Structure 1
Amino acid sequence: MAASHDHIFRAYDVRGIFNKDLDVSIMQKIGIAFGTYMKQKNGITITLGGDIRASTNILQHAFLSGILTTGVNCELVKESPLGITLFNSFNKNYIASAFITASHLPPDWNGIKFYWGEGIGFSPEENEELYQIYKKNLFEQTDVFNLGSYKIIDPYSDYVSYLKTKFNFQKNYNIAIDCGNGATSLVIPELYEELGFDVSHIFSEPDHNFPNRTSEPTEESLSQLSTFVKDSNVLFGAGFDGDGDRCVFTDENGIVISSDIYGLIISEYLIQTQSEKNILINMECSLSMEDYLKSIGANPSRIKVGHSFLSLEAKNQNAIWGIESSGHAIYPNVFLFDDALILPLMLVNALEYFNLPLSKLIERYPPSIKKRYDLKCDDKYKFQRIKDVIQYLDNKDGYLNTLDGVALTNDNGRILVRASNTSPKVRITIEALNQQNYDIIEREYLNDLTDIIQI
């Protein structure tokens, strides 16, 4: 790959603008590299899926043609939410899965994520190994008599059957779903109806232009879901991202709740109903989460941001639950991967257990004020900027944590600065228990940090 394209290989995946950073020839070569990597790991068959973006089908077949030249076989899922593709390898014990997507990024972007068969995303080190095969042309291709084969499959019915063995509900609840015209539109409302729900839904027609809202579920982008929920008699609302690995909720009144609060609800439900106590929260999760989890008998553990870290640490630490502030979550009792389609099912189980409406249930959890600022910063410089920030914060009062970026915690609250692993940004998150303390942190640090990052 030319040096100008090196940046598309990121910590968790490959991402770039179609026909600018990422085209058919590049994706075919990535397929050859991936097939070579699988052969080195003694892999025979993988699953390949993709979301509903306009370029997905083209890139999917380019990747497929590359991997077949290495002699590795492929089951092709075509368009689907992420979880259904990953389920196929999980269910059939295949070595790995690959999924064409750019998640929540704009329509002109695309990319590919890699997962091991049980659902753990490739680590940054494993993605680097794959990149080195690509960059150095260390390919292991076969002759015409030993090419790989492929077939088109649909794992949907097996997926639904599996979920029915994991979830049971007391009655047919009415829930509201906003698919955002993304990949979850391919299976909603049918999936939840088959599981026994009455489903009210909006933006449930696949459309690669994402005409009704951005593919990232936020309080702002879910405003129409909030209005829809207010006018409906539903248990809650749920809004999905573009490929179905993240979900954000509203209560029954249409008020968007943070993923931190959702994470606490599920944590408390699981702590009270299961014997294991290990809970994972990433560095962006609220400070108050950690204290509350300890107060209810959980063993919370902070981890780096990223779905691959979430899955891997869930396995290594025997965690019963893991949550990220962005809406990614892992429930290892069902899957080791971040399938957001199961998150509404977990919330229904929790609401049944506590026997409270969601608006009342969230009142028990500690409030905090938290806001994230996304600053543009070239991929070439953003990690150096983090080093500059560490140097700046090193002589400030408080506790410094450099697990993922740098976090400074003091009596007023916390400020976290970290480089995005998926886009050219540095993110600053400020958190405090009240507005007065939040304002103190913002006044003291935000302008200085912005100047350091955006030199």
Structure 2
Amino acid sequence: MNVFGSSGVRGVVGETITPAFVGRVAKAAGSTLGAETVAVARDTRRTGGMLADAAAGGLAAVGSDVHRLGVAPTPAAQAYAEREGVPVVMITASHNPPAYNGVKLIGGDGIELSRDALERIEDRLLSDRYETKPWNETGESERVESTRRAYVDQLLAVADREQIADADLTVALDPGHGAGALTSPDFFRELGCRVVTVNAQPDGHFPGRDPEPVAENLDDLGALVRATDADVGIAHDGDADRAIFYDEHGDYIEGDATLAALAEARLDAGDTAVSAVNVSQRLVDVTSRVDADLELTPIGSTYIITRIRELQNEGEHVPVAGEGNGGILFPNYRLARDGAYTAASFLELLADQSASEAVADYGGYVNVRRNVEYDSDAEREALLAAVESYAEAADAEPTTTDGYRLDYGDAWVLARPSGTEPVVRIYAEARDRDRAESLVGGVHERLRAALE
């Protein structure tokens, strides 16, 4: 697909993402899906209202009535889709910087559209084939005010409220000025937790930190944990479909360690876990220990969800899936990433142990990541050619599921183009930081040279 990447379409507003473009995406989606009603939601980004208006206009133009959900986390919009049986156009750029925005398409079952459906929509978009209606058949619009509250109520119904309340936890929460600021504080308080917050005011300028919940953006959360003697810190991205954690000492917990801990709590022998090609050895160790299978996909929720659906259709049980960036899925709950549900699942682990104890068995690995930016298609192709050349000359058999992954036994390195930003990402994992830095540095040096 040329338009829809690994998790929708995203770009800088005013450059690749414009109201006209979003209107065309909405018209293509409405024409392809043929739904009588489609909902539109957005995260807190400064440009979200403008683009949501464009999406609503495009949908009405092809005859769909529009439910305007306003600002809501992506998982809240997915819960609405599932509950009401209507597709959703979600205006979000998730973890990307404030200048970005984008579109994610959700089916009437509350699940991101399959790659086949996205390809049909993309074909219509690229050929400008829309089922526009005459003036007296265009759709009408209505506002829906209950989306966020209904989502919190649904979360409360599935979380183990008694176990979490009995743990008497203090939660330090950093929603990063995103949509989770409007739902997660209430959710955790109603679970029986004492909640203290930072960056909890919805603000599309993201003044406190960038939306991506990575360690370098979360110093304030670590400080808040230490200052308030909190039991755990929780951070979301811009649309709150991810959760990243800090332990009771105010130390960052690697997302891969969280995924491994939650996977071990859910997996039984014969089950299958699904992750991406940048999977940590931590999850490999867990699946081996419990005698479960592990399936790998290209990076991105679209690919992971597509593979889960295929496995479920084959009769496989997939209780947990996701990536080490905090985007975890529990398909028995919903086939969607949900930062608040992930956080509640982690809180359940703290009933009789601390956060540091909950992930203690999943340490011993160091992860390093570095990006190389490009400015043109020609530079992108030069970088990909350099990656291929590096992999072919390496003393390891490359895995090419998504980019090139080189496994060395004691460590691995992966280089792949991002599906959402103009960068090539380099990942490495090893038991020793110097080893991981060396692997990333070797690839990074080759790629930088390709741009000179």
Question: Which of 10, 22, 27 is 2:22 aligned to?
Answer: 27
2:208 is the counterpart of 1:212: yes
8 A Cα contact 2:79 2:151, kept in partner: yes
| Counterpart Cα distance in 2 of 1:448 and 1:427 | 13
**Structure 1 gap segments, 5+ residues each:** 1-5
2:228 is the counterpart of 1:228: no
Question: Which of 48, 57, 72 is 1:56 aligned to?
Answer: 48
2:377 is the counterpart of 1:374: no
**SS of 2:106's equivalent?**
strand
Query: In the TM superposition, what are the counterparts of 1:139-178 in structure 2 within 5 Å?
Result: 139-153=130-144, 154-168=146-160, 169-170=162-163, 171=166, 172-178=168-174
2:363 is the counterpart of 1:363: no
CA deviations on 1:42-81 (whole Å, 9 max, x unpaired) are x222221001112111111111011111112222101111
Shift in CA distance, 35/438, structure 1 to aligned 2, threshold 3 Å: closer
| Counterpart Cα distance in 2 of 1:82 and 1:408 | 34
Shift in CA distance, 333/348, structure 1 to aligned 2, threshold 3 Å: same
Instruction: Provide the aligned length of Structure 1 versus Structure 2.
Output: 441
Shift in CA distance, 155/251, structure 1 to aligned 2, threshold 3 Å: same
Tell me which residue corresponds to 2:129.
138
1:447 maps to a residue whose letter is E
Q: Which moved more, 1:195-204 or 1:55-64?
A: 195-204
**SS of 2:334's equivalent?**
coil
Q: Which moved more, 1:103-112 or 1:7-16?
A: 7-16
| Counterpart Cα distance in 1 of 2:327 and 2:426 | 19
Query: In the TM superposition, what are the counterparts of 1:85-100 in structure 2 within 5 Å?
Result: 85-94=77-86, 96-100=87-91
How far the C-alpha of 1:442 sits from its partner, in A, is 4.8
8 A Cα contact 1:237 1:254, kept in partner: yes
8 A Cα contact 1:418 1:428, kept in partner: yes
2:404 maps to a residue whose letter is V
Tell me which residue corresponds to 2:314.
none
| Counterpart Cα distance in 1 of 2:412 and 2:330 | 28
| Counterpart Cα distance in 2 of 1:192 and 1:378 | 42
Query: In the TM superposition, what are the counterparts of 1:39-438 in structure 2 within 5 Å?
Result: 39=34, 43-94=35-86, 96-153=87-144, 154-168=146-160, 169-170=162-163, 171=166, 172-271=168-267, 277-317=271-311, 318-352=317-351, 355-378=352-375, 380-381=377-378, 382=380, 385-435=383-433, 437-438=435-436
How far the C-alpha of 1:379 sits from its partner, in A, is 5.8
How far the C-alpha of 1:117 sits from its partner, in A, is 2.4
How far the C-alpha of 1:439 sits from its partner, in A, is 5.4
CA deviations on 1:341-395 (whole Å, 9 max, x unpaired) are 111100011222xx22111232212411220110002462435633542243224
Q: Over aligned residues, Cα RMSD in angstroms?
A: 2.2
8 A Cα contact 2:383 2:447, kept in partner: no
How far the C-alpha of 1:293 sits from its partner, in A, is 2.4
The TM-score with structure 2 as length reference comes to 0.91
1:18 maps to a residue whose letter is V
Shift in CA distance, 444/163, structure 1 to aligned 2, threshold 3 Å: closer
Equivalent pairs: percent with the same residue?
Answer: 23
1:152 maps to a residue whose letter is R
8 A Cα contact 1:182 1:208, kept in partner: yes
Shift in CA distance, 185/412, structure 1 to aligned 2, threshold 3 Å: same
**SS of 2:372's equivalent?**
strand
8 A Cα contact 2:270 2:293, kept in partner: no
| Counterpart Cα distance in 2 of 1:36 and 1:442 | 45
| Counterpart Cα distance in 2 of 1:443 and 1:181 | 34
**SS of 2:256's equivalent?**
helix
How far the C-alpha of 1:87 sits from its partner, in A, is 0.8
8 A Cα contact 1:119 1:311, kept in partner: no
2:18 maps to a residue whose letter is D
8 A Cα contact 1:314 1:330, kept in partner: no
How far the C-alpha of 1:179 sits from its partner, in A, is 1.2
How far the C-alpha of 1:258 sits from its partner, in A, is 0.8
| Counterpart Cα distance in 1 of 2:438 and 2:131 | 58
8 A Cα contact 1:322 1:330, kept in partner: yes
8 A Cα contact 1:16 1:111, kept in partner: yes
| Counterpart Cα distance in 2 of 1:27 and 1:132 | 15
2:104 maps to a residue whose letter is K
How far the C-alpha of 1:100 sits from its partner, in A, is 0.6
**SS of 1:336's equivalent?**
strand
Tell me which residue corresponds to 1:3.
none
8 A Cα contact 1:38 1:44, kept in partner: no
Q: Which moved more, 1:213-222 or 1:437-446?
A: 437-446
8 A Cα contact 1:412 1:438, kept in partner: no
How far the C-alpha of 1:126 sits from its partner, in A, is 3.7
8 A Cα contact 2:64 2:139, kept in partner: yes
